[in-house]
Chains A and B, each alone.
Chain A
Amino acid sequence: MVITRRALVAAGAGVLVAGCGAAEPIPPDAELLGPVLASERALVDAYARVEGRLGRELAARARDHAERLARAGAGPASGPAAPGGDPVDAALALQRRSMRACVGAVGLVREPAGRALVAEVLTAGAQHAAILLARLGRDPLPTAFPDGRTA
């Protein structure tokens, strides 16, 4: 494979951007993982409010994610407040928040093991969201990109 001039020009443009101070320092992994941990902890409680096997299984998975994130060194972060109302709707809202935290972290976490864990939690989150959408009688697969982007 050959690096093209176009690639090098694009890279050079990036350095200029960095040189102008546009790039901000990347926080440590613990700080990047913190919001994901906080969201998963909040999901444990949210899924506990969902009745039946669905609530039990998804709560157990959120608990497992939270424990693994803590072991991976995720730092403290303020947890999102669980919305009121229908438990499935509330869990879906929190699940989407967790997914946004994952997307933010996965590009920046330095340690491969931490990055892999975040990608796994994101994938599980997308699966949980699809199951919740189906439970709500909505389209479980509304987009090709679970983070909501259109392309």
Chain B
Amino acid sequence: MLAAGAVVLLARPAGAAAAQAEDTAGALLELIAREQAADFAYRATGARRFARLAQHAAEHARALRAHLESVGRPAPAPPGARGDLDPAAARVASAGGGAAAIALERELVTVYAGALDRLYDPSSKRTAATIMAGHGQQLVVLHRDPLQALG
């Protein structure tokens, strides 16, 4: 399925295809960094309730890395310290509460929605949209009243 992206890319003039590959790679790099930061932050809390969210973030990052590698780009290094985290993940790592996790998950849904237009091939769009849905699902389990998670 990953090769399908290359099919679409080369159906365009070389310059346009290169620009689209660059944009796709840039979006994937950002999404992977966000997932790696979420993984780090949830684990940093040491809270059992966040253990599965950390595991899911790691799985998301792994799925996205496969797409990045298909366009010949190496994965970004995972964060090594709290200072490497984006602000929303840093708040989870420091505050550790449900409110910070809800804010992070909401932000991730928004980030994925914004990234979809930058991903050129159908396969990576599907993966990103599915992960976006996964973050929506995680919002449900973070809310005491699950219906409140519905935006």
- The interface of chain A, by Cβ under 8 A from chain B, is 1, 3-8, 10-15, 17-18, 23, 53-54, 57, 61, 99, 102-103, 106-108, 112, 115-116, 118-120, 122-127, 129-131, 134, 140-141, 143-147, 149, 151
Which bucket holds chain B's interface residue count?
35 or more
Interface status of B94 (Cβ within 8 A of chain A): no
Most buried by B among A8, A11, A102: A11
Interface status of B9 (Cβ within 8 A of chain A): yes
Q: Of B56, B125, B129, B147, which one neighbours A53 at CB under 8 angstroms?
A: B147
Q: Of B60, B116, B130, which one neighbours A147 at CB under 8 angstroms?
A: B130
Q: Of A99, A107, A145, which one neighbours B125 at CB under 8 angstroms?
A: A107
Main secondary structure of the interface of B (DSSP, over half): helix
Most buried by B among A3, A18, A123: A123
**Are A5 and B72 touching (Cβ within 8 A)?**
yes
CA distance A145 to B135 in the complex (A): 9
CA distance A112 to B78 in the complex (A): 31
**Are B137 and A140 touching (Cβ within 8 A)?**
yes
**Are A145 and B132 touching (Cβ within 8 A)?**
no
**Are A14 and B3 touching (Cβ within 8 A)?**
yes
**Are A127 and B63 touching (Cβ within 8 A)?**
no
CA distance A146 to B63 in the complex (A): 13
**Are A146 and B130 touching (Cβ within 8 A)?**
yes
**Are A144 and B116 touching (Cβ within 8 A)?**
no
Q: Of A23, A126, A144, which one neighbours B60 at CB under 8 angstroms?
A: A144
Q: Which residues on B sit within 8 Å (CB–CB) of A15?
A: 6-7, 10-11
* A124 CB, nearest partner CB in chain B, Å: 7
CA distance A146 to B130 in the complex (A): 6
**Are A126 and B136 touching (Cβ within 8 A)?**
yes
Nearest 3 pairs of A and B residues by beta carbon: A107-B122, A14-B6, A14-B7
Chain B residue, CB-CB nearest to A148: B130
Interface status of B75 (Cβ within 8 A of chain A): no
Q: Of B10, B66, B116, B147, which one neighbours A11 at CB under 8 angstroms?
A: B10
Q: Which residues on A sit within 8 Å (CB–CB) of B62?
A: 151
For this complex, 20 residue pairs linking A to B, each with C-beta atoms less than 8 Å apart, are: A7-B6, A7-B70, A7-B72, A7-B73, A8-B72, A11-B6, A11-B21, A14-B3, A102-B129, A107-B125, A115-B117, A119-B113, A122-B132, A123-B109, A123-B136, A126-B133, A140-B146, A141-B56, A144-B134, A146-B130
CB under 8 Å from chain A, chain B span 41-70? 52, 55-56, 59-60, 62-63, 66, 70
